[in-house]
Structure 1
Amino acid sequence: MKRKATAVWKGTLKEGNGIITTDSKVLNNTQYSFKTRFEQGIGTNPEELIAAAHSGCFTMQLSAYITEAGFEVESLETTCAIDFQDKSVVGSHLSVKGKVKDMSADEFQKWVTKAETTCPISRLLDTKITSEAQLL
């Protein structure tokens, strides 16, 4: 399986702008620019897209582990913060809140830690990955 996205950029780094489109069209000519990456502006940026991918992948992997362990997932909510410094992604922090029937906080933490290191996007990223978990 291969997934694709296309980026088109026009102009200089600071004054130019671009669009990103995914094959699924969830992102369809979605605007990005220097301002959306380093300042404030309407549109997305590569780090935001990495955060979306990492939070989504991690949450799916965590759900799989919990389900395979015989527990019922009511809900999982993960926020990912990508730390971008000095032209490098230096970290990804996952903060997850979960509602799981009959699961202890220690058991939840065990599966969070495993998913943190084994989800496909975690394995792709060459950076420090941390997490925190709260069982509701």
Structure 2
Amino acid sequence: MPTARELGVAVVPWSPLGHGALTATVTSRDELPETDVRRQVPYFSEEHFDANRATLETVRRIAAEVEAEPGQVALAWLLHQGDDVVPIPGTRRERYLEQNAAAAFVALTPDQWRQPPVRWRSPLGRTGRSPTGIRPHGCRR
């Protein structure tokens, strides 16, 4: 972020809801069909899923405190990072579009703003790269 800000460049976080992970809708890796692409995403790997579920409790706790959805808290936190951070969550459902837009109005306390909602334990969290073969919709090689 410091370099982007120095250059006056906005940042658009890719998959700001972590392929749905930050919505807290998937509580077990077993809920994902074998063909679900998220099984290839590091967050959902067998190696990291349980550890990351514990981290997700921070998001759930804050969401309960402010009467919001977990995904709204994650988006609100990103929006609070500055006008140069522009999360664009993808969705196919109108109700999620409305939830995501309402994240701009989630009011968190100063202590809640200071808590990063997630600290992933996965290669994605360390490198910022997604596994081979996973690309945002519309991207071509």
Structure-2-length-normalised TM-score: 0.28
Higher share of residues assigned strand: 1
**Greater RCO (CA < 8 Å, at least 6 residues apart):** 2
Computing the radius of gyration from Cα coordinates, the structure with the larger value is 1
